Amino acid sequence: MKGLSFAGVDTISVDGVDVDWYQAFAERILDTQTDDGYWPRDYWGGEILATEWALLTLERVSPPRVVPVDIKPESCPNPLNVGGHGVLPVAILGTNEIEAAQIDPGSVRLEGVAPLRWATEDVAAPFYPYVDKEDCARDCTEAGPDGHLDLTLKFDLQEIAAAIGSVQDGECRMLHLTAYRNDGEAVVGEDVVLVLK
């Protein structure tokens, strides 16, 4: 069911009628729940397996894995000159949990923009927390290489400026990155930039 949700399929056609597949599955699954909170045994396994299947079906999607992202590695704050030309360097930082080689570079998007080119090298250490950064002056780090290979990417600066739209000089703006691992697992990350005009 996660595949349908991930693909954006909200309804399926059954005998020519559009049906909310999630609602139909949820109603059927909940109707068969036993008084003790489990689901009955079935051909494929016992009540524990049946219960796990039911709960996994009701969970629409697994949240994507969060990865550390650094815009303009070794710079704090991270300036974004929206009137400039050239490239914006960005890195998905390797950690003990995720290696740069596990990310499909062709799947990476920063605010919906694909990178111009990429490489792997050790450029920076992650800033914690990986998400929910708000302060352009403090939610960043100048820490350099940390012994983990990073996926370094270069984005067209004007494409990024166009993607984020109208901004004010001195504004602190969050940029969002999406990608997939080589095994198909979705990953997300973000970093804050200080807008310069």
The answer, yes or no, to whether residue 141 has pLDDT greater than 80, is yes
Residues 185 and 101 in one domain: yes
Residues 77 and 122 in one domain: yes
Report d(CA 71, CA 90) in Å as an integer: 4
pLDDT band at 95 (very low <50, low <70, confident <90, very high): very high
Residue 10: other Cβ atoms inside 10 A: 13
Report d(CA 189, CA 176) in Å as an integer: 6
Range of the domain at 77: 65-196
Residues 188 and 131 in one domain: yes
| Lookup result for tokens 């290696």 | 99
Of 58, 80, 96, the residue that ends a domain is 58
Residues 108 and 166 in one domain: yes
Of the candidates 120, 138, 118, the one whose C-alpha atom is nearest the C-alpha of residue 191 is: 138
The pairing of beta strand 79-81 with beta strand 117-121: unpaired
Residues 97 and 190 in one domain: yes
What pLDDT score does 123 carry? 98
Coil, helix or strand at residue 102: helix
Residues 92 and 156 in one domain: yes
Alpha-carbon torsion angle 80, 82, 84, 88, nearest 10: 40
The answer, yes or no, to whether residue 193 has pLDDT greater than 90, is yes
Count how many domains the chain has: 2
103-113 confidence digits (pLDDT tens): 999 999 999 99
Residues 37 and 94 in one domain: no
Q: Which of 3-7, 11-15, 146-150 has the highest mean pLDDT?
A: 146-150
Q: Is the pTM of this model over 0.75?
A: no
Which amino acid is residue 89, in one-letter code? P
Residues 20 and 50 in one domain: yes
Residues 53 and 69 in one domain: no
Alpha-carbon torsion angle 6, 9, 11, 16, nearest 10: -140
The answer, yes or no, to whether residue 37 has pLDDT greater than 70, is yes
Residues 117 and 175 in one domain: yes
